[in-house]
Amino acid sequence: MSVDSVITNSDLEKPFRIFVGYDSREDLAFEVCRYSILKRSSIPVEVIPIKQSELRQNKLFWRERNKLESTEFSFTRFLTPFLANYEGWAVFVDCDFLYLGDMKDLRDLIDDKYALMCVKHDYTPKEATKMDGVVQTVYPRKNWSSMVLYNCGHRKNRILTPEFVNTESGAYLHRFQWVEDDEIGSVPFVWNFLVGHNRVVDGDPGTYPKAIHYTSGGPWFEAWRNCEFGDLWVKELEEYQKEKTSNEQEVRGQKRIFHDPCYGYGGGLVVLIELLKSLESTFNLEDLDTFFAVKKEKTSPSAPKPRAMTTRSSKSTKKRKGVDTVDLEEPSDISIPDLLKKVSAKYASEKEQIEKQIEDLEDQRKIFTAKAGHYEKELAKVKKQMKDMEATYKLQFKEHIDGAKKSAAIAVLRAKIQLVNQAKADGVDSLAKNMKEWGKILATLAGDKVEASVDVNKAGEVGETSEAGEVEVTGTDAGVVEQEVQMGDDDNDAKV
């Protein structure tokens, strides 16, 4: 996950993690969803997009997409506990949400006795298609998985590994079948308010949505421009774009001072600090304080009002939030050297915080890489075991078939010989000539000694047993014997 993909609204305490399903067709929906979360949250939160392209690149997701998947996060959503390192609680939410409530209120609903919590909708869509023409599917517990509070450390959720998510069926995953029903906690429907399904009751504030879900399609799709609550999303979009433009202008102003072509933004802080140090060693900064000092005598009315000096490059002298100014009309309480030191210390501290964030993200990347390597080795081991087992089973199956054919042939010949002996005992000798050939074949197959009462003369030649367990007979009545032995094989094959 890149540095730009993780956004927090505070570094003062451990943030509440919110994983948002990302679809390249709905980038604007994701941006507005993220903006609405950060704007209204009174607790530190961390908004993390789940991008299928990044997961594939890191070999954490390799499942082929089928025609029933309406978004890129249809399956990747179930990697939330894995991506959270199976620690604490985390939220997954589709990108087509607009948050009107405080994330603190959602976090306060958490109950550690559950493996996961969600809004338990009883929802059957009316439309045949949704979004930009995607086929609408109907299945039990539909939309339960669109907003889920995961108890990532729960033992049942540890089954949600990349291998499991990449191979298990969609029905199994979206119905939460890896947990028992009593391990699924309930969240009020206002936290997953389905547009076109849920309704606001006049005079009942408990029915007003805290998170609007444009499940069939939102205003970012042409076909859904005028959907219910669409005006709220459009208003949020306008606010987001206005703030984005303002931030970009401010960043451009900062880059004029703090951007270095060799080190990039942030790296220029190092250059600034080194420059301040060199100035301090070259000049007597106490003289600068004297130079900029204003006499205590009252300024002449005709004299022009001195402008303000700011620590940021700006055409305006208006004092803005976060900009330290020094008014030259009155003597400053902070000397020039102290002011420069203060600026240096401030940006050195910010640089240290940025480096710490980069270091933490690098540690996470190493963990994911190590996990991916481990899983690849385990997969190769399982594939080898399956291949070995397949070869063993094939050999055993062949041996069983060959043995069965041989046993069937022996049984048939013994039965025929027994019939001839019985006929001879009764004084009927019509089958005596066939008896000679059958005795030879039986001796070859079973290795038995023919009974003394059977006279075996040289009436033909017996060939060797073939690999299929059949016997080639030459001589008198060879065709008859071969046909009968083959008949015994067919009987045996039918039983198998």
Query: pLDDT (tens digit, 9 = 90+) per residue, 243-280?
Result: 998 888 776 665 544 444 444 444 455 555 666 655 55
**Residue-level pLDDT at 40:** 96
CA-closest candidate to residue 96, choices 26, 8, 49, 193: 26
**Residue-level pLDDT at 270:** 54
Higher pLDDT, 212 or 442: 212
Does residue 365 carry a pLDDT above 70?
yes
Sign of CA dihedral 22, 25, 26, 30: positive
Does residue 14 carry a pLDDT above 50?
yes
Cβ(48)–Cβ(24) under 8 Å?
no
Task: Look up residue 479 and give its amino acid.
Answer: G
Higher pLDDT, 154 or 482: 154
Average pLDDT of the segment spanning 36-47: 96
Architecture per CATH, domain 3-228, reads as Alpha-Beta Complex (3.90)
Sign of CA dihedral 223, 227, 229, 231: positive
Place of tokens 């004297």: 290
**Residue-level pLDDT at 280:** 54
Does residue 199 carry a pLDDT above 70?
yes
**Residue-level pLDDT at 453:** 39
- 8-state DSSP, 201: P
User: At 363, is the pLDDT very low, low, confident or very high (cuts 50, 70, 90)?
Assistant: confident
Average pLDDT of the segment spanning 71-97: 96
Higher pLDDT, 411 or 249: 411
Does residue 162 carry a pLDDT above 70?
yes
**Residue-level pLDDT at 56:** 96
Q: What angle do CA 414, 415, 418 make, to 5 degrees?
A: 85
Which of these ranges, 51-65, 99-113, 197-211, 429-443, has the smallest mean pLDDT?
Answer: 429-443
Does residue 183 carry a pLDDT above 90?
yes
- Best-predicted range by mean pLDDT among 259-263, 281-285, 304-308? 281-285
Q: What angle do CA 18, 22, 25 make, to 5 degrees?
A: 155
- H or E element at residue 462: strand 460-465
- H or E element at residue 212: strand 211-213
The 10 Å Cβ neighbour count of residue 250 is 14
Task: Look up residue 286 and give its amino acid.
Answer: E
| Range list for CATH 3.90.550 in the chain | 3-228
**Residue-level pLDDT at 368:** 81
Higher pLDDT, 133 or 252: 252
The pTM assigned to this predicted structure is 0.51
Place of tokens 């191979």: 167
Average pLDDT of the segment spanning 202-206: 92
Higher pLDDT, 435 or 12: 435
The 10 Å Cβ neighbour count of residue 149 is 23
Higher pLDDT, 267 or 440: 440
**Residue-level pLDDT at 442:** 72
Higher pLDDT, 193 or 480: 193
User: At 378, is the pLDDT very low, low, confident or very high (cuts 50, 70, 90)?
Assistant: confident
Does residue 169 carry a pLDDT above 60?
yes
**Residue-level pLDDT at 216:** 84
Q: What is the Cα gyration radius of the chain?
A: 41
**Residue-level pLDDT at 452:** 36
Does residue 464 carry a pLDDT above 60?
no
**Residue-level pLDDT at 474:** 38
Average pLDDT of the segment spanning 120-142: 68
Does residue 182 carry a pLDDT above 60?
yes
**Residue-level pLDDT at 21:** 96
Pairing state of beta strands 264-265 and 309-310? unpaired
- 246: Cα separation from own chain's centroid: 34
Average pLDDT of the segment spanning 233-243: 94
Does residue 427 carry a pLDDT above 80?
no
Angle between helices 268-282 and 336-425 (to 10 degrees): 150
> To the nearest whole number, what is the mean pLDDT of the chain?
75
**Residue-level pLDDT at 374:** 78
Average pLDDT of the segment spanning 162-181: 95
User: At 463, is the pLDDT very low, low, confident or very high (cuts 50, 70, 90)?
Assistant: very low
Could you give the percent of the chain with pLDDT greater than 90?
36
Cβ(165)–Cβ(97) under 8 Å?
no
